[in-house]
Amino acid sequence: MPTLTVLALHGFSRRPQHLTSFSEACRRRGWACVRPSLAPRWMPVLMNNRRHLDQVADRLVSSGRLTGPIVIVGHSAGAAAGSWMAPVMIGQGVDVRGLVYVDGNDSPNHLIEQAWPDLDELAIRGVMAPPSPCNRQGRLSRYLQERRPGSVVVVPRAGHGDLEGRSSSVYRWACGDAGEPDTWHTVQSETLAAIDSVSRGE
């Protein structure tokens, strides 16, 4: 059986290295993990741009790094980017099994809503923190529950940046994250379980 590849997409203004801890957890499961940069540091808004995301998806496909079945994990704004990129990659023959949104947000230009009709055949799960300013007071959780009942796990006391596995001052300041290690582990464990489920099409 081909090795599962997790395509891990960072949040707005973040970088692939912020998902190092998560990537290592994937590798301990025996999964490959690919962490692309979604936008240059000097222009983070490009990760909301459809044409730019098409180009990122094209580069990933042509790189040959997306082998075997793929699960896309989008943290924060990475959820919107992954939703837009998934149909692009499927159209190029990539075996995308589904998406996991980790305290995700839709983009200001509504990429998740725009892509949603093309995501109908994919398994989708949400691993969310309680409502906060950084997850737009749980807007994506409600969106998913309306369209895919039972697809969302809300981790009590979790913070917006907990997938990164460390306490970042930007999340404490902007989102009110408590920076508790036990919630980091819970968010990571729930995310890994969601990946496993999505990879099986559940």
Lowest-confidence region among 40-44, 122-126, 157-161: 40-44
Render pLDDT for 90-103 as a digit per residue (tens, 0 to 9): 999 999 999 999 99
Question: What are the b/e assignments for 39-71, b being 16+ CB within 10 Å?
Answer: beeeebebbbbbebbeebbeebbeeeebeebbb
Domains located in the chain, CATH noted: 5-199 (3.40.50.1820)
Nearest one of 114, 96, 190, 109 to 151, comparing CA atoms: 190
Rounded CA gap, 95 and 98, in Å? 9
What integer pLDDT is reported at residue 41 of this predicted model? 87
CB atoms near residue 143 (< 10 Å):
18
Render pLDDT for 21-59 as a digit per residue (tens, 0 to 9): 999 999 999 999 999 999 998 999 999 999 999 999 999
Q: Which two tokens stand for residue 66?
A: 């997306």
C-alpha 132 chain-centroid distance: 18
pLDDT greater than 70 at residue 1: no
